[in-house]
Every structure is written in C-alpha cells, then in structure tokens.
Amino acid sequence: LYVEHPLGGGQSVPLEKGQAHYLFGVMRQTVDDDVLLFNGQDGEWRATIAEAGKRGGTLICAAQTAPLRMPPDLWLMFAPIKKARTDFIVEKATEMGATRIIPVMTEFTNAGRVQRDRLQAHAIEAAEQCGGTFVPEVAEAVKLDRLLDGWDTARQIMFCDEALAGADAGLPTSSELVAPWAILIGPEGGFSERERTRLDKLEHAHAVTLGPRILRADTAAVAAMTVWQQALGD
Ligand code: SAM
C-alpha cells in the first residue's frame, strides 16, 4: 500500500478514509494483520494494523522488507492522446521503471486538459500493483518548445521519429552515453517539420526508429522503453 508518510521502525502511520475503506472494507484486513507499505522514499516496510475504523486507521511499522529500489534515470516524455490511452502509457511507464513522466504538448497534440493528479494516482496504483518501492512523478503538461528551451544538456533524448521508420537509426550504446536519458514520443499526428528540425539540430537528441511500421503512440512508448532498457537499462 502506498502512503504519503515517513516509514521507519516503530513509526505510526495514519490512514485516510479511502485507504481505510480499501484495506478494511475491500481487502478485509483487521487489527493485528500485517500490511506492506511504501512511500517512494524509504523502501518497503511490514506494518501491523493497530486501529481499524470506517474513516481511518493506524499502522505501526515493524521491519523493513526491502530497500528503496531506484530504477535507472529515465524520463518518459509523451504527447497526450485519448484519456484511456494516456492512462495506459502512465501505467506501463511506471511498470517499466520510468523515473519521471512528462506530458508534452507538441504542435499536433490534440488532447483535452491533462489531469496531472489523476495520472499521478494511476502511477501510484501501477507501482502498488507491480511491487515497486518507487513512484515516478507525473509532471505538469509542458509545451515541447518550452521544455527544450530549458533543457539540461547532460540528459540525452531518445527522440522516437516515425519519419525514420525502416531506416538504420538505433539507440547509441556507447558507454559514454550511460547518462540520464529521456524518451520522447509524438502524438497521433506525429511531429511537425519544424519540431523535427529543431530536435535534429540538438547534439544531445538522438533520432531513433522503432522499426518499419508506424506504431500507435501508446505502443511506441512501451516499445521505446523496452529498447532503452535492453541497450542501457538494468
Ligand atoms: N501520424 C504519424 C504518421 O502517420 O507518420 C504517426 C505518428 S505515431 C502514431 C505517434 C508517435 O509514435 C510518433 O510521433 C513517434 O514518436 C512514435 N512512433 C511510432 N512509430 C514509430 C517508429 N516506427 N519509429 C519511431 N517512432 C515511432
């Protein structure tokens, strides 16, 4: 269970109404039962239920069961698409170990308002489901140009460019490039020529193909993370 509270030996952890409903109502846990907790910072802890009520409860941390497992530093930046597909991207990126997820508004992005809190809740659920001890932060949506204006050039960009489909453009595997990375996936309409030219001029951006077929953006996000993990991740 994910909690927004420090974890440590003997630490008492309060539960909110929603968590109490889930734990005591849905999962049928009760006083003296053990629960595994994580908060994205202190690893995983076994905690015992001390109080169980309808509106809340209290857990007491007993012992750490796993240290914090930080995945390699990889951001996923993607142009938001339809709601359900955007949710899918956030869920899969969390499962695959993205450290930060950034919705990026490109010229051809055609999506409604991005609800950051909803997407963050999806990331928490995905981390709970896959037994991770880390939850990626979902950032506020940002325009691609603004993002690139303030870019820290020490971070390499894996720019997934559908225009290269079928070309021989893979991810660099040189050991010098085991730096922080960010994957960039475009919207259903792809990147504009102006965006492509800007990205192509950046020394720290590497245009990469994901194969000869044009993938849907959600498929491309999962494929790109897999390619990166295979080449540079652990
Ligand atoms: N409208 C575009 C077209 O028909 O050329 C397709 C855009 S595609 C649905 C969405 C995004 O997925 C692209 O902007 C790109 O980032 C990524 N993508 C899809 N297929 C790819 C491929 N074969 N190689 C690299 N990136 C790909």
Closest by CA position to 164, among listed 106, 107, 212 = 212
CA of 179 to the centre of ligand 1 (A): 25
* Fold that domain 74-232 belongs to in CATH: Alpha/beta knot (3.40.1280)
Residue 200 is predicted with a pLDDT of 93
Task: For ligand 1, pick from 214, 218, 227 the residue to mutate: most ligand atoms within 8 Å of CB.
Answer: 214
Q: In the structure, which protein residues have their CB atom closer than 6 angstroms to any atom of ligand 1?
A: 160-162, 164-165, 185-186, 188-191, 209-211, 213-217, 220
Q: How far apart are CA 64 and CA 136, in angstroms?
A: 21
Q: For 12-66, which CATH class? A: mainly beta
CA of 202 to the centre of ligand 1 (A): 20
Tell the residue nearest (CA) to atom 19 of ligand 1.
215
CA of 152 to the centre of ligand 1 (A): 25
The predicted model gives 176-197 an average pLDDT of 90
- Closest ligand 1 atom, CA of 212? 23
- Closest ligand 1 atom, CA of 191? 14
Q: Give the per-residue SS3 of the chain.
A: CECCCCCCCCCEEEECHHHHHHHHHHCCCCCCCEEEEECCCCCEEEEEEEEECCCCEEEEEEEEEECCCCCCCEEEEECCCCHHHHHHHHHHHHHCCCCEEEEEECCCCCCCCCCHHHHHHHHHHHHHHCCCCCCCEECCCEEHHHHHHCCCCCCEEEEECHHHCCCCCCCCCCHHHCCCEEEEECCCCCCCHHHHHHHHHCCCEEEECCCCCCCCHHHHHHHHHHHHHHHHCC
- Closest ligand 1 atom, CA of 208? 25
Question: Which pTM value belongs to this model?
Answer: 0.88
15-68 pLDDT, tens digit per residue, is 999 999 999 999 999 999 999 999 989 999 999 999 999 999 999 999 999 998
Q: Specify the domain boundaries for CATH 2.40.240.20 within the chain.
A: 12-66
Residue 168 is predicted with a pLDDT of 78
CA of 4 to the centre of ligand 1 (A): 37
Tell the residue nearest (CA) to atom 18 of ligand 1.
162
Residue 176 has pLDDT above 80, yes or no: no
193-226 pLDDT, tens digit per residue, is 999 999 999 999 999 999 999 999 999 999 999 9
Q: Specify the domain boundaries for CATH 3.40.1280.10 within the chain.
A: 74-232
Residue 177 is predicted with a pLDDT of 64
CA of 132 to the centre of ligand 1 (A): 30
Tell the residue nearest (CA) to atom 13 of ligand 1.
186
Least confident window among 108-112, 185-189, 212-216? 108-112
* Interface predicted TM-score of the whole assembly (ipTM), two decimals: 0.97
Residue 155 has pLDDT above 90, yes or no: yes
Residue 75 is predicted with a pLDDT of 97
CA of 75 to the centre of ligand 1 (A): 18
